[in-house]
Each structure stands twice: as C-alpha cells, then as structure tokens.
Structure 1
C-alpha cells in the first residue's frame, strides 16, 4: 500500500461513524504486533521513544532526527497509516514547525501533531498568537499533500486547567487549517463533550493516563472521533519488565514466563508483519 492509499484509508477513518482507536507503538516490532492484532491505524509516541532510549519525554531530549528516524522505521514496518507525535515542532518559530511537517512527509507518514507546549518550565505554553501561527504554518506546509495535521492544546498537562482558553485555542487551530484537534488531559466527560461540540474538526482523546477510565463507547457518545493511548502501551510493557525482574531478583522464581510471549509466537508476529 503506497502513501496515497494509506492517507485515504486514514482520512476515511476520521469520516466514519463512531470513534476509532489509533494505537501507539514505540518501535517497528511493536508496530508489527499492533497491526497483527487488528488495529486500523498507528501513531508514534514521544514518551515511548524516550523511555526506550533511556531518556525523558517532554524535555527536548528527543531530537527531530530521532523522532523522524523512529517514525520512518514504524511506517516502513506496517501497511497501516501512521501519524507521528512531532511534539512542539522542534523549534519555536512557525518556520520550524513547517520544516518539521515537510520532513515528516518524506518518511512515509500520513499525519502528525504539533503541540503548543514550549518545553520550558518557566513558560510551558506558547502565547496564543504564536501558537496559532505555528499551526497555520504547519497547515500550509501540508496543504495539498497526503497528510492530516493534528493540533494539540496542552494546557491541562502543564498545570493550566483553563477549559475556556483550551477551547479558544482549539477553535483557532481549527480555523488555521488543522485537520484534527487534541487537548490531552481533559478532566471529565463533560469537558470532552464541550470540546467536541465547540469545534468543526474531528477530536482526538488520549486514554491510558492516570485517572480517566472512560470506554470507547462513552467517548464516541461524547463526540470523540479518535482515541489514542500515548505512551501507555510502552509503560505497560515496562511495567511487565519490572514485575518480571523483581520476581527473579527478590524471590528467585521465574513464573513471569507463563504470561510472556513465547518465542514461537513472537516469530509468528514478526514473520507475518514482514510478508
């Protein structure tokens, strides 16, 4: 399946009834497994990539080259449409975001997200006007190309629980040309419902964060179109590693292997993915 075909498939998912899940692999192997398990689309995760390479997420430790190399590996490992977590566009200026989108389109991706978080603790969110300009430049770079742009308003992840400002930003991102809108960390379903009813583009909600445990059906009923899991699959895998390692170190037993993927099962997943 070529990039145009993947893009059309991705676009169709955003136009269908109800909500769909976009799963988040952190490398080629996890992407292959998720495709074989039946997911219809994938998105990279900056957190999953950071943890897999011994770094922290959201502290400018993952470079644009790192992110795009990881995205290329994932996109080439699967026949599914893949969108990328492009963090803050890897630069403050609108031109930086536009360049990131242009480079992302060269990797086989059919989508990507730009957020309004700065990565600076003293001023974690871009000023409103600059945030909109960054989305507008990203949208212009993707115009006419097989690429869906997601714009993210990050207030709730950075200690700014201002729903009115979040909606104002999403509405402005909508008008600036974003194809999908995303405000991670919304506090409750009523806030999710209000966001969805306030914009004209599909809304993404991330699950797997601490606290919220809404079902796919509940999210669809609230108006959500796309549900991602962020870095939570990667963290679940790390949790399994820690539990297994602690059992061996503390008890000297190996019962964790009962729940581990067998070598034969792992080979079947990888062989099916590489056909």
Structure 2
C-alpha cells in the first residue's frame, strides 16, 4: 500500500478543521459500521476510541488489544468511509520513539490521517515529558517523510488521572501542552472532568488548538465553542452507551424476555438499505 492523493486531501481537510476559527465535534467510532453511521449522519471526520475499539474486541482499554488488530480495524474503517479517520493509538504501542514512528507509519498506510498520542501510564502517573516530546518529534518527522500532513493530537492525562493538586494540574497541563506544540503537535487534548473556568484557562494558556472530552462537569457545547475550544471528542461514550443496552438486552433474553428485540423498528430491510446506501 502507499499514500494516495485522496488520503493527502483527507489530511488537508482534517488539518483545516483544526485551523478554522470554530469548534467541531469529532465522534469516536470503534469499527467500520459505527464509522459508517457517523459519516452517514453528516460528520466531517471520525476518530477511533481506544476503549470502544477494545470493548468491541472483548478487551479492557489500555493497549490490551494486539497492534495487528488495530491495524486491521483501521483498514476496515478507512475502506468503508470517505471522511478523514484519526486513530487513538494510546501511548503509540511502544515507549521507544522510533517504534512509535513505525507503528504510525503502518497506520498511515492503512489510511489514517490523524493520531492521538497520550502521556498517561498504567500506574496513574505521567510519562517523562522528554519522552513525550521525542515521540511527537518523531511523528512530525514522519509527516515530512511521507509527505502527509496528518494531525498530531497530543494528549496529557493530568486531569484524567488527577495527578497532583488542582493548581498543579493546571500548570502541568499548560506546560506540557505548550511543550507538545513546540515539538510539532497540531492540537492538544486535555480529557477529564474539567469545569468551565478551567477550560477557559487551558484555552488561554495553551498556544495551540485545544481538544476537550465531553464530560459531566461542563458540557455546554455552545459555551465551549464561545470559550475557544477547537475540538470536542465524545470518547468511549457512544460505545459504552451501546454496551450498556446490549448487556441489558442479554439479561432480558436470559430471562426469556424478547420484546426488546422484537420491538426494534430498525428492521432488516431498513438496516440493509442504511448500510448499503451512499453518503
């Protein structure tokens, strides 16, 4: 496989969404079917959810899924949709920057035009800043090598993991965000239950487009855009929403209750037409 002109155009489109002076909602899919739904319902791009993708394959989140499975699913997604696809590959599936670069290269050859790379570790701490900077620099170098301007979305997990005091978290997020930007990141992702005031400080303190995760603490979409958030992700929310209902249906079926299945109005013909249709 090789980088195509279509993929380069998708990368340009995705990058321009981050450069525009408005917020966009980026839905997170977990397989080709869910990506197809988001495309059909009018979204201009789609990202993977590492958690949603893991759950769909029967694993917990946290790089538990073999990298080969990620490559396979991303290839299925990019083959089925015509919108840009960004990949959450967690810590890059390696702590060696050159291996992270090689993993990203393989994903690019499957059609990816964006990467989410994070600094959170399984023990609840953050990886060394120098290591994250080097990972981002190697990814920026890969952009030039492939002549593919994919989007590097550098994530700091300081709020997600609640590392340090509230004041320290803000300082750390801003420090890391600006360091990531300097290293070549196109966008800085700060997930977690972050209130309105903190979102405003992050937007003002980080010299890059800021990506926020939909959360219960502050989720007024219009206000997020007014504050200056550039990208709003929904994370594993849709996948977990679907899993919760699937678990409920399984328990009903175990008890001999079948109305949940039979009352579904999305019948076979409608489903076939929906996934077979264009646009």
What TM-score do you get using the length of structure 2 for normalisation?
A: 0.89
Q: Deviations over 1:55-80 (max 9, x none)?
A: 1001x311222222211111111011
How far did 1:259 drift?
4.5
| 1:129 aligned partner | 130
The equivalent position to 1:116 in structure 2, one of 100, 114, 119, is 119
The answer for the alignment partner of 1:172 in structure 2 is 179
1:232-252: CA deviation from partner (whole Å, max 9, x where unpaired): 111111112122233333462
* Equivalent in the alignment of 2:229: 224
SS of match in other structure, 1:204:
strand
Q: What is aligned with 2:251?
A: 246
Unaligned runs of 5+ in 1: none
Alpha-carbon distance in structure 2 between the residues aligned to 1:270 and 1:248: 26
Q: Quick one: which of 80, 84, 89 aligns to 2:83?
A: 80
Please list, as runs of the form range in 1=range in 2, the aligned pairs for 1:1-275 lying within 5 A after superposition.
2-58=6-62, 60-119=63-122, 121=123, 124-143=125-144, 144-161=147-164, 162-207=169-214, 209=215, 211-250=216-255, 252-255=257-260, 257-259=262-264, 261-273=266-278
1:253 offset after TM fit, Å?
A: 4.4
What TM-score does the superposition give when structure 1 sets the normalisation length?
0.90
Partner Cα distance (1:176, 1:242) in 2:
43
Q: Are the aligned partners of 2:15 and 2:149 in contact in 1 as well (CA < 8 Å)?
A: no
Question: Unaligned regions of 5+ residues in structure 2, if any?
Answer: none
CA, structure 1 residues 198+213, in 2 after alignment: closer, same or farther (shift >3 Å)?
A: closer
Does the aligned pair in 1 maintain the 2:11–2:148 contact within 8 Å? Answer: no
Give SS of 2:29's match.
Answer: coil
Which whole-Å CA distance do the structure 2 matches of 1:111 and 1:234 have between them?
20
Q: Matches of 1:91 and 1:181 in 2, distance apart?
A: 20
| Superposed CA RMSD | 2.0
Cα deviation code 1:125-168 (max 9, x no counterpart): 11122222222222222234231111110112223151211111
- The whole-number CA distance in structure 2 between the counterparts of 1:224 and 1:79 is 26
Alpha-carbon distance between aligned partners in 1 of 2:197 and 2:261, rounded to the nearest angstrom:
40
| Cα displacement (A) at 1:9 | 1.7
SS in 1 for 2:212: strand
> In the comparison of the two structures, how many residue pairs are matched?
269
In structure 2, how many angstroms separate the alpha carbons of the residues matched to 1:95 and 1:64? 16
Q: Distance in 2 between matches of 1:117 and 1:139?
A: 20
How far did residue 118 of structure 1 move? 3.0
Q: 2: distance between equivalents of 1:15 and 1:269?
A: 33
Aligned partners of 2:194, 2:19: CA distance in 1, in Å? Answer: 26
- Distance across 1 between alignment mates of 2:99 and 2:170: 28
Deviates more, 1:151-160 or 1:11-20: 11-20
